[in-house]
Amino acid sequence: MRTFTLILTFCILNHLSFSQEYKMNEYYKLDSNGVIHGAYVLKCNDTLLAQGYFHKGTPAGKWVFYNINSQKIIEGYYLNGLMNGQWIYYKDNKVISKIGYKLGVLHGEVKSNYLNGNTRIIYNYKNGELDGEVKYFYENGQIKEERFYISGSLDSLFIVYDENYQESIKIIYDNNRPVSILKSKDLDNFPLKIEGNLLDGNGKFKSYFKKSGYKIPLEERNYVNGKLNGNYISYYNGVKVLVGNFENGLMIGKWKHLNQKGEVIEKNEYVKSDNMDFTKIQKYQHNIEELDLTSNYLHPDIAPRFLGQDISNNITVSKDGIKSGTSIINDYLKSEIEKLLIDLKGNIFVQFSIGLCGEVKNVEIIKGFSENENENEQILNIFQKFPIFEPGFIEGFPVNVKFTIVLKPN
């Protein structure tokens, strides 16, 4: 969960009716330049879905979002078109997360809850960087994990507890570098496993990810006097993707970058004078990180909902009716693209994301472009005009969820 900036993009629905049951209506005013300015309201039939304010086309002030059952799902404030202050997310009328922002950047306390109301995770941010305590809890309220950050760097003690409040993993960090492995016990309900003899900045440090009973390697490091020395290996999905050597904290000698098939895609050779320090390969190393609000996810813990229905990641729509996915989305799309489908020569795959406020974004045709460029633009426009969704969640936090919809001519 790093810096995040969101400017809501609202569509002009033109009183869109895509079934006998649902009718979407927007209420707003335009200024002399034709830009939305003032109060904004979105309704489905007579049910309020969103209300807020625009200042010269930019979201401003307090915004509140509701689901089709009139339950509040999101509320927060915009300043200069950016999320600002505390944003609160609800699930079944209960607070599921609170996220602090300062002009679009994570700032202050960021917290999520279990559906039983107990605290799940607490982060502390300062100007987009982790700064202060981070705590994870078991569903019964018992502390599960605690660590401390200074200006985005893991520092001091990193501790994982079992359900009996006994320390299972205990590591000392200094500026994102492990210094000593004080304890490393395997926990069934914790995905990270640490091995090695690292003590006072000397020794080996190996990390693994546990999945379905397997131990998948993540990274192998060797330290001498607190600096990386000797062989270094970074893995992706258990496959080596970066291999090389360090000397006194600097990259030296031959380094290889590999793809997931184990094929070498890049070779480099360094000498000490290159001053290639460890920060140059941060993107390859595995850090114990928090959830990332900027990434797209395919399988959230709680799926997005469209007018009260959960939706799947892969949906097929055709003139013959529902092939797979969610019926109400099929109804919506069929009503909008029926004429286009008659002219389509093959399947068209459309990909998009549902954002943290349920907005549809990043719409693109990824396969099967129509020969008619105007049809392509019409298809993209239909998806960009989707009514707002209820967002998806992972560990109680709203996330961007990616979807693919297949449009079939028959």
Instruction: Give the model's pLDDT for residue 2.
Output: 32
Of 94 and 236, the structure prediction assigns the larger pLDDT to 94
Give one DSSP letter per residue of 179-191, joined into a string.
EEEEEE---TT--
Task: Tell me the Ramachandran region of residue 85: left when phi exceeds 0, alpha when psi lies from -120 to 50, beta otherwise.
Answer: left
Distance CA 195, CA 185 (A): 9
Please count the other Cβ atoms lying within 10 Å of the Cβ belonging to residue 89: 25
H or E, element range at 280: none
Domain boundary assignment for the chain: 186-286, 296-407
HSE (side-chain half, CA atoms, 13 Å) at 53: 10
Confidence check: pLDDT of 174 > 80: yes
- Which two three-digit tokens encode residue 319? 């003139």
pLDDT tens-digit map of 297-326:
888 888 888 777 776 555 555 444 334 445
Which among 12, 96, 95, 87 is positioned nearest to 54, based on CA atoms?
12
Burial class (CB in 10 A: 0-12, 13-18, 19+), 224: middle
Can you give the pTM of this predicted structure? 0.80
Read off the pLDDT of each residue in 158-175 and give the average, rounded to a whole number. Answer: 93
Instruction: Give the model's pLDDT for residue 291.
Output: 59
pLDDT tens-digit map of 2-55:
333 333 444 334 344 444 456 778 899 999 999 999 999 998 888 899 999 999
pLDDT band for position 379 (cuts 50, 70, 90): confident
Output 190-195 pairs: Cβ under 8 A, ≥24 positions apart.
Answer: 190/144, 190/145, 190/160, 192/160, 192/288, 194/169
Percent residues over pLDDT 90 in the chain: 46
- Collapsing DSSP states into helix, strand and coil, what is residue 157? strand
DSSP 373: H
Percent residues over pLDDT 70 in the chain: 81
Which among 297, 359, 291, 402 is positioned nearest to 7, based on CA atoms?
359
- Which two three-digit tokens encode residue 107? 């700032």
Distance CA 380, CA 267 (A): 41
Instruction: Give the model's pLDDT for residue 303.
Output: 85
Read off the pLDDT of each residue in 205-229 and give the average, rounded to a whole number. Answer: 90
Scored b (16 or more CB within 10 A) or e, 37-62 reads beebebbbeeeebbbbbbbebbbbee
Instruction: Give the model's pLDDT for residue 282.
Output: 46
- Which two three-digit tokens encode residue 213? 């009973």
Strands (E), 56-202: 58-66, 72-79, 82-91, 94-102, 105-113, 119-126, 129-130, 132-137, 143-150, 153-161, 167-174, 177-184, 192-195
Kindly list the distances between the CA atom of residue 2 and the CA atoms of 23, 95, 124, 218, in Å, as whole numbers in the listed order: 37, 22, 12, 22
Report, in angstroms and rounded to the nearest whole number, the Rg of the chain calculated over CA atoms: 25
Instruction: Give the model's pLDDT for residue 377.
Output: 85
pLDDT tens-digit map of 46-79:
889 999 999 999 999 999 999 888 899 999 999 9
H or E, element range at 23: none
Confidence check: pLDDT of 227 > 80: yes
Instruction: Give the model's pLDDT for residue 262.
Output: 83
Burial class (CB in 10 A: 0-12, 13-18, 19+), 28: middle
Instruction: Give the model's pLDDT for residue 295.
Output: 82
Confidence check: pLDDT of 371 > 50: yes
Confidence check: pLDDT of 1 > 70: no
Of 289 and 34, the structure prediction assigns the larger pLDDT to 34
Distance CA 188, CA 210 (A): 9
Kindly list the distances between the CA atom of residue 148 and the CA atoms of 82, 109, 153, 160, in Å, as whole numbers in the listed order: 28, 14, 8, 13
Of 335 and 173, the structure prediction assigns the larger pLDDT to 173
Mean pLDDT (the chain, rounded): 82
Do residues 264 and 243 make contact, with C-beta atoms less than 8 angstroms apart? Answer: no
Instruction: Give the model's pLDDT for residue 146.
Output: 95
pLDDT tens-digit map of 108-123:
999 999 999 999 999 9
- Which two three-digit tokens encode residue 218? 């993540």
pLDDT band for position 150 (cuts 50, 70, 90): very high
Read off the pLDDT of each residue in 163-170 and give the average, rounded to a whole number. Answer: 92
Instruction: Give the model's pLDDT for residue 102.
Output: 96
